Amino acid sequence: MIPTIVLVGRPNVGKSTLFNRLTKTRDALVADLPGLTRDRHYGRGIGASQPYLVVDTGGFEPHTDSGILKAMAKQTLQAIDEADAIIFLVDGRQGVSPQDMEIANRLRRSKCPVLLAVNKTEGMQKAVVSADFHELGLGYPLSISSAHGEGVRDIVELALENFKEVEDEPVTDYTGDRIPKVAIVGRPNVGKSTLVNALLGEERVIAYDEPGTTRDSIHIDLEKNGKHYTLIDTAGVRKRGRVFEAIEKFSVIKTIQAIEEANVVILVVDAQEGITEQDAHVAAYILDAGRALVVAINKWDGLKEDERDWIKREIDRKLQFLDFAEFHYISALRKKGLPELFKSVDVAYKAAFAKLATPQLTRVLIDALQQHQPPISKGIRPKLRYAHQGGSNPPIVVIHGSHVDGVKDAYTRFLEKTFRRTFQLSGTPLRVEYKQGHNPFAEEEDKRKPGEGIVSMRRRKTAQRAELKAKKEAEDKDRRAKKH
């Protein structure tokens, strides 16, 4: 069992900075703003004598009775219960605070060892800075700097010294490949965190009736029906004109990165608010990223029959470009429709990594050409000869031929739908790319130049032949004159 180290402390003492240093990532958002981290954030520790897990927690307010701070405190208490060792961070530049005393009293009741880390001590006399923190009664204070790395390795090794070294075996999914990464995205307050908690069966992330509750992208391991997944809970994406805070801008960037990282994306839409333009914008970005997609219409149980019919018409009108995706009408709060939702996730993941044989792709291409030839462009019809697979997630079909730069976008969409329908690739977009054939026997002057049409090329060749003929006639005339 890999030991787990939990980082605990009041807001803005440097827990997320230390988390990023221990994991050698930038997974946790860092800014000079108290209360930025809210959910538990897990990561793999790197650089120690043995593998370990490190958990970043939100600022701990032990005696908060309501609001978002109460939910953050609950998350921290759950992390403490899971911990094998705790690193309690305090701010060496601000000294001991009453809140530090309250947290220390709570940690003394825990059953796992606690190490007291006095952070932000770079450039200071460490013995003098740490002297005041002896009154917390948690042993000898260790001076560190999470921003500069001073003393970080030593305190981690102290936390791990009582644990037997274990091998860190990579986990694989049910196909023997990597674990599917499933990102849950959407506008703020549509029920993304509630859906994550419903899938996990516990309050793993904070679900609060307030837009912008989730600020970071949280990676969570899930095992369902013997299959392993990594869920990514993301921050809500609002319209660009309504994003004012710098922290929210970083949250949007983290959400975009989560979409790029994921294999399958679950787009959550609020049925009670209808299909908005922002829903369509988020869906369009997922499509541009080429990710497999499942659409979850949440809060479906609170609608009347006529309202449900209206929502379905809105889906047909505003999200018609997602015809490859499966739509599910769910209630995350009441856990309705979730098994069917994840069946579609499995189907979409399988389709995104499907292996397409070259002979079959070429046969489908020939059938499509017999059904509908590509339109003539600049006086010549593109010739498409054969196809093969060029990548996965999304599946890419590379078609070789001549004059392929003249293929229209509408014909490309026709081929994409044909390939997806023939190979039954449900839940994933498919991209068609073209590769121009090369004629090794063509002279350089006979080739078309970039951006040159067939008519322009013919005119250039006619002018070249006329120039060559005039030059030859002039040479013959000079030769006859010399003879006479």
Binding-site residues from annotation for GTP: 9-16, 56-60, 119-122, 186-193, 233-237, 298-301
Crossing angle between the packed helical segments 192-200 and 338-352, to the nearest 10 degrees: 100
Structure token pair of residue 283? 């869906």
Report the C-alpha gap between 216 and 28 in whole angstroms.
7
Report the C-alpha gap between 45 and 352 in whole angstroms.
31
CB 431 within 8 A of CB 291: no
- List Cα–Cα distances, 400 to 250, 406, 407, 433, 478, in angstroms: 42, 13, 12, 9, 50
CB 40 within 8 A of CB 117: no
Look up residue 179 and give its amino acid.
Answer: I
Closest CA to 427 of 457, 394, 400, 464: 394
CA dihedral (130, 131, 134, 135) positive or negative: negative
Q: List residues forming the annotated binding site.
A: 9-16, 56-60, 119-122, 186-193, 233-237, 298-301
Closest CA to 321 of 346, 347, 288: 288
Report the C-alpha gap between 395 and 391 in whole angstroms.
6
CA angle 313, 319, 323 (to 5 degrees): 100
Residue with tokens 């959407």: 186
Sheet strands (E) in 309-410: 326-329, 383-391, 396-402
CB 247 within 8 A of CB 215: yes
CB 270 within 8 A of CB 299: yes
